[in-house]
Each structure stands twice: as C-alpha cells, then as structure tokens.
Amino acid sequence: MNFFITILEQGLIYGILALGVYITYKILDFPDLTVDGSFPLGAAVTAALITRGMDPYLTLPIAFLAGVLAGICTGLIHVKGKVRDLLSGIIMMTALWSINLYIAGTSNVPLFSQETIFKNDRIEGLIPKALSPYTTLILIFLLTIVCKVILDLYLKTKSGFLLRAVGDNAVLVTSLAKDQGNVKILGLAIANGLVSLAGCVFAQEERVFEISSGTGAIVIGLASVIIGTSLFRKVTLLKATSAVLIGSVIYKACVAIALRSFEPQAMKLITAVLFLIILLISMERKKKVKADA
C-alpha cells in the first residue's frame, strides 16, 4: 500500500512539473532545459525559508515567483539575446546550479525538524484522524488539481489564446500587432514557475533539499507529457493537462516497478531507457496514424 501511495505522491508532484513542461514543450514548442535548474531552485528557496522559520505555506507562492524569474531570464536570453532555445535553457540551467547553492547555503539541507506544509499543527487539526496517514497525498492531490484547473482556465483567456498561438504560428501573433517575444517570455515564466513550485513541494515531502534533485527533471517532465498526450490522444473528453498528470503518475509507477528488480544505481539508466522506449512507441504510433490517413 505504501508503495502505491509513494508512487501517487511523487507522480502528482512531478505532475506539477509536467504541467510546466507541457507549456514549453507542447504549447510553445520550446525545448526548455531550464527545468533542471528551476526544479531545485524551488527546493532551495523553500529550504532557505523554512530553516529561517518562515510559514511553510508562504514558500509555495515565493518558490513559484522564483521560478517565474528564472523563466524570464531564459526568455530574455532567447528573445533579446537571440540565443537558440536549447542553448538559452542550458545557460540558465548551469547558472542556476550555483545560484541554488548560494540560496540554500550547502548542497544538502535536511528539513526533518522543521514544519512543512504537510506537517504542522494547523493541518493536523484540519484533517480527521482516520485520514491522517494520507495527509501528504491529499494535500499534494489538492495542490496539483488547483494548478491544473488554474492552468486550464488561463489557457481559455485572451492571454492564454495568444500563448497557444505563438507556439502554433508565431507570424500570426505579429500580425495581431503583438510582440511574439514577450508572449514567449510569459510562457517560459509560467512554465518555470510551475516547475519551481513542484520543487518546493518535493523538498517538503522528502524533507530535504538536494542540489542534484534537478538532474534529469526535464526527462521526467518530457516523458510524462509524451506518455500522457500520446496515450490519451483519442480521448477527447480528457483535457491535455489531465492527461499529462496521469502520464506523470504512470511514468513514476514504471520507474518504481523497474527499480524493485534493480539496484538504486540503475535509476538514471532506467529513467533514460524508459524515456527512449516511450519516445519510440509514440513515434511508431504517429507513423501508423500517417499510414492510415
């Protein structure tokens, strides 16, 4: 039972990250590697604030804003500096490694004795005793759903329409007398805000900040997005954002199951191989769709 709860918890936390990657990869068509830096950025900010005694719930919006800033930097490098998308992300990802160390102080900050969003007096009073073992899962679930719903609502606004248009056909955005560069920066800001928020929740769930926690975060995000969107392509009633969340849980489950029969060292190898398999399967499906048409 614990095994499944952990999968769900981790899957949903990474689901928030996957929502961010969905914005850059699927909507903006921008391979954003900033994610590997903005995920631990959220965690670093959280660790720094919680150890200084800040209310853990306030770390959520602050971590989001920190991610927004990182996204804006990547956007500025790409749009104003005219640096290629992939390189802009790599530059920010590299810079963030040091920035995260500065923020957190060291490469590893334990949060065992501090209050977190999952463990404090207020939440214990709020959740009935019978459900208390599931407090973490319930909170993560609620938080993920809130993120998803807000993102869904945003994508239906005028600003959201423009964001979807810029990845689809940037020329049209210029035709609408809007600066496409600014729209891209906005998209990167929101995306990295979500990724950083995921990092914040992750640090509080694991009760530790680890500088290397972001390594491979983009792979997890991409895998979740690709699993979700290609698995539920035909299910029109399911929104892409929901599909991405389910994709994230499925991916975490796959990794967890694989890890049961391998040593922990194999984790990144399993991650990479699984991602490759998912890519190959989704490409195979695309080919089939084309052949059918």
Partner 1 sequence: MLELKGISKYYNPGTINEMCLFKGFDLTIEKGEFLSVVGSNGSGKTSMLNIICGSIPAESGQILMGGRDITKEKEFKRNAKIGRVYQNPAMGTCPSMTILENMSLADNKGKLYGLGRGTNKARIDFYREQLSWLGLGLEDKLDVKVGALSGGQRQAMALLMSTMTPIEFLILDEHTAALDPKTADLIMELTDRIVREKKLTTIMVTHNLRYAVEYGDRLIMMHEGTVILDKKGEEKQAVSVEEVLTLFNEISIECGN
What's the closest the beta carbon of residue 226 comes to partner 1, in angstroms? 17
Q: Does 190 contact partner 1 by CB under 8 A?
A: no
What's the closest the beta carbon of residue 158 comes to partner 1, in angstroms? 4
Q: How far apart are CA 157 and CA 15, in angstroms?
A: 23
Residue showing tokens 């035709």: 175
Q: Does 156 contact partner 1 by CB under 8 A?
A: yes
- The token pair that represents 215 in the structure block: 């390594």
Q: Does 31 contact partner 1 by CB under 8 A?
A: no
Question: Of the two residues 119 and 233, which places its CB atom closer to partner 1 in the complex?
Answer: 233
Q: Which of 98, 132, 159, 212 binds partner 1 (CB under 8 A)?
A: 159
CA atoms within 13 A on the CB side of 194: 30
Query: Stretches 165-173, 208-216, 255-263, 279-287: which one binds partner 1 (CB under 8 A)?
Result: 165-173
Question: Of the two residues 132 and 157, which places its CB atom closer to partner 1 in the complex?
Answer: 157
Buried b (16+ CB within 10 A) or exposed e, 108-123: ebebeebbbbbbeeeb
Question: Of the two residues 29 and 124, which places its CB atom closer to partner 1 in the complex?
Answer: 29
Q: How far apart are CA 115 and CA 32, in angstroms?
A: 33
Q: How far apart are CA 15 and CA 13, in angstroms?
A: 5
Are 83 and 77 in contact by the 8 Å Cβ rule? The answer is yes
Q: How far apart are CA 84 and CA 131, in angstroms?
A: 49
Q: Binding pattern to partner 1, positions 96-125, x when CB under 8 A?
A: ------------------------------
Interface with partner 1 (CB under 8 A)? 154, 156-162, 164-165, 168-169, 171-180
